[in-house]
Amino acid sequence: MKVIVIKCGGSILNSLSEDFYISIQSLKESGFYPVFVHGGGPDINETLDLYNIEPEFKDGLRKTTHEVMHIVELVLSGKTNRTFVNLLETRGLKALGLNGSDCSILQADFVDRESLGQVGKVISVNKNLLESVLEIGCTPVITPIASGPDGQKLNVNADMAAGAVANALNAEMCVFITDVDGVLKDGKLLKELTVQEALKLIEEGTVYGGMKPKVETALTVLSQGANRVMIASGKNKFYEQDSFIGTAFTEQEIYMKGAAK
């Protein structure tokens, strides 16, 4: 089973183009099984504002009190997930919305309970359930909410959740959908980078601004066991004619083995 895990951030969900959905159909026609993990930051912040709660972040992670966790789950599972599933369904893609905590799809432990509250790091994934969903022809659409200790629910960074799912399912690739085609150098898209090459581009300043954290996240997910990671655009086709369009990141040794074939 050739699985592709696709992470869509909350900021891009409402901007996904028809070309994006055409790419998903093309993936399925090519024998791939897509699995989605999505965020919902803008929707969460909007709802927190209604409750006069100021968002707090530490090292890129949302500080999640019990009250904030309630809102995070309400928004992600009750609004964002429903909206995304509907967008997929209206384009002929059979999608099944899943809260990450259902049946312990995502099992997590606290990152730092004292300073971050109910923020988790995935420690296991219920791969059997996800594979069963794929086998009946449905596409899982997962919220980054995990089962934690003592029945608590934990808020997981969506990028890291996607990486954990990709690792557990031995996915061909974990694709991060953004508003850019990938890493550019002198105006040209770089189709593939090793870890070492990516770090060099950051060091020399070619990768900077908003692209820098995207690349750093991709490298982190790669280091945690994903086979390949890609940054691609949700505003254009990212898969066409049996090839991916974006910037793929690979470990040096994997890249060299592939080049030798």
Annotated binding residues for substrate, written as ranges, equal: 40-41, 62, 155
d(CA 105, CA 142): 9
Contact between residue 155 and residue 145 where contact means Cβ atoms under 8 Å apart? yes
d(CA 130, CA 215): 27
In 3D space, the residue among 82, 21, 78, 13 whose CA is nearest the CA of residue 41 turns out to be 13
Residues making up the binding site: 40-41, 62, 155
Give CA 221 to chain center in angstroms.
10
Q: ∠ CA(217), CA(134), CA(104), 5° rounding?
A: 65
Across the strands, what pairs with 125?
A: 106
203 Cβ partners below 8 Å, 6+ apart?
A: none
d(CA 62, CA 258): 38
